[in-house]
Amino acid sequence: MQYVARLTTALAAAGALVLTTPTGAQASAIGSTPVRTFEYSVGGVDDEGADCMFTHIVRGSGRKITYQNAGVDCAFVGALSSGFCNWRIDFTYADTNNRLYRTSRGKTHSECKIDPMRNNSPQTLPRYGKACAHLYVNGVRCVSQCHHITK
């Protein structure tokens, strides 16, 4: 029994060391917003087919973005649809007063795709504010997902 108590104490101490070891300041943000691919009616009830999520990921520290990605994941009935046609994904950046200062416009893809996705290159933003990803289908913005970039 004493062996188990000592082992438990040793493991707890090792865990505390792991948890308190300083690391470089890193920040990550992941967020998802429902997006519909289609509408259908079953027994007179309309369903907007929101079995898809638009996910935006930002990794970095401070104003430096080391990785950014946005895309759609579908499940259930949404995965059976024809997908998103004539789509593009844009990344935008705004300051703390919500003034847009940079847009990285994606290429418009004429094919239909169930899982459109785009990466953006690493960059250092000139100011704090927010980074957003926007999915456009046939030139119309369908969904947006944003993350605040703060000190």
d(CA 55, CA 66): 17
Asked, for residue 1, whether it belongs to a domain, the answer is: no
* Range among 13-17, 46-50, 120-124 rated most confident: 120-124
Asked, for residue 16, whether it belongs to a domain, the answer is: no
Asked, for residue 122, whether it belongs to a domain, the answer is: yes
How far is CA 148 from its chain centroid?
12
pLDDT tens readout for residues 47-75: 455 589 999 999 999 999 999 999 999 88
Asked, for residue 65, whether it belongs to a domain, the answer is: yes
Listed in sequence order, the residues at least 6 apart from 66 whose beta carbon sits closer than 8 Å to its beta carbon are 59, 60, 122
Asked, for residue 17, whether it belongs to a domain, the answer is: no
CATH number at residue 124: 2.60.40
| pLDDT confidence tier of residue 81, bands split at 50, 70 and 90 | low
pTM, whole model, 2 decimals? Answer: 0.74
Asked, for residue 15, whether it belongs to a domain, the answer is: no
Asked, for residue 95, whether it belongs to a domain, the answer is: yes
Domain count along the chain: 1
Match 């090792």 to its residue by tokens.
14
Match 């998103």 to its residue by tokens.
84
